Amino acid sequence: MGNYIDELGKRIKKASKTISVLPTTQKNAALLAIADALTENQARILEANALDIARAQEHSLSSAMIERLTLNENRIQGISDAVKKLVDLDDPVGIIDEGFTRPNGLQLMKTRVPLGVVGVIYESRPNVTVDTATLCLKSGNCVLLRGGKEAFQSNKILTDIMRGALKAQRLPEDAILLVEDTSREIAAQMMKANDYLDVLIPRGGAGLIGSVVQNATVPVIQTGAGNCHVYIDEYADLDMAVNIVENAKTHRVSVCNAIEGILVHQKIADAVLPMIKERLERYPVELIGCERTRAILGGDIKAATDADYATEYLDYKLSVKVVDSIEEAMEHIDRYSTKHSECIVTESYSRMQTFTKSVDAAVVYVNASTRFTDGGEFGYGAEIGISTQKLHARGPMGLHELTTIKYIAYGNGQIRE
């Protein structure tokens, strides 16, 4: 392993000894200091972010990706406010999930403790830098951050500001460390830093997540990729369906909880598809669809392929398929979904039950936009990622999911016979 990751690893492990045992009052004071420092240094943040945006434009990143990268006064204030919300949330560290006494008098306490050192490899969105660092701090963890080169200047200034706030609180700055070498070689070394990292969390597109899952020897929590769908059932309220599709697709196209496909029951396709097309004409959304979709909406709709159905666009593009039954819709979702967020629009209770019981996803919605799959919207303050796997954590990962279990056993001389 390279000396650079070794150096960072040793520093962050040392900081972890202090951060893991901090009382809640000290952690909250540090969070408030970070929140205030972010707003006080707004001009510096915007200046750094402008450098990243200029570089992105030079490299012809899509408008959706540039939007994902962009910070402004409102977004910085929102990031600061999210940090303050963490202060009001319960600290999970030290909570006893379960306690019991064995017949021999041994008392066992199933107690929540920090994971330790969390590594995060992520792309584009600089708000992730603050969300991740502050969630880790509140839950008693240290964090090693490795953002993408497209957001390096933003990530660097945000990390510097947070580290300065920790120093002002007389806490170890190295509780938050940024990997400043954005090369693939260093990322690969980080994936194998078992001596320093307790867990590794990738946040980004399918390519990044797949690379980390396949190459890391550090335990990985798989997050993020969002090929999400809305299924419009034959018993749907059509106006509601149109509103949900509009919001789930266009509210912010570059995020993982935006939908990439809609499935429409054939009995209402003639009625609802023109309504959806008309609504989405307010935006630069490109529709691609099956033959029945094209027959209803016209030949200017491009034909969708299997590859299209499998793609997380993160852009103004939406696949459409007309299906004969709810079973066909669920089969399509099972084949193409990344198990992130899926939605049914229906007024039928039995259809709701069938869909919610059968569809395998971290979050399944009935008559609501998939855009709610978010730590803040779920009341967690923020999230370190949306887990799409089934072990340890699933869905938006907040403070609770950044802890693990330690059994504490109290005895009075018991020995095993």
Tens digit of each residue's pLDDT (9 = 90 or more) over 47-83: 999 999 999 999 888 887 888 899 999 999 999 999 9
- Res 1: pLDDT: 44
279 by DSSP, 3-state: which?
helix
Q: How far apart are CA 183 and CA 22, in angstroms?
A: 34
Q: How far apart are CA 75 and CA 54, in angstroms?
A: 18
Task: Report how many helices (DSSP H) and strands (DSSP E) the chain contains, helices first.
Answer: 15, 16
Contacts 24+ apart (CB under 8 A), 242-248: 242/272, 242/275, 242/276, 242/279, 244/343, 244/345, 244/367, 244/368, 244/369, 245/276, 245/279, 245/280, 246/276, 246/279, 246/280, 247/369, 247/371, 248/343, 248/369, 248/370, 248/371
Global pTM value: 0.84
- Res 385: pLDDT: 82
List, in order of start, the domains of the chain with CATH numbers: 3-221+397-410 (3.40.605.10), 228-372 (3.40.309.10)
Closest CA to 176 of 154, 155, 159: 159
- Res 140: pLDDT: 98
Closest CA to 130 of 88, 85, 82, 170: 82
- Res 392: pLDDT: 79
- Res 270: pLDDT: 97
Q: How far apart are CA 93 and CA 22, in angstroms?
A: 10
Low-confidence ranges of the chain (pLDDT < 70): 1-2, 224
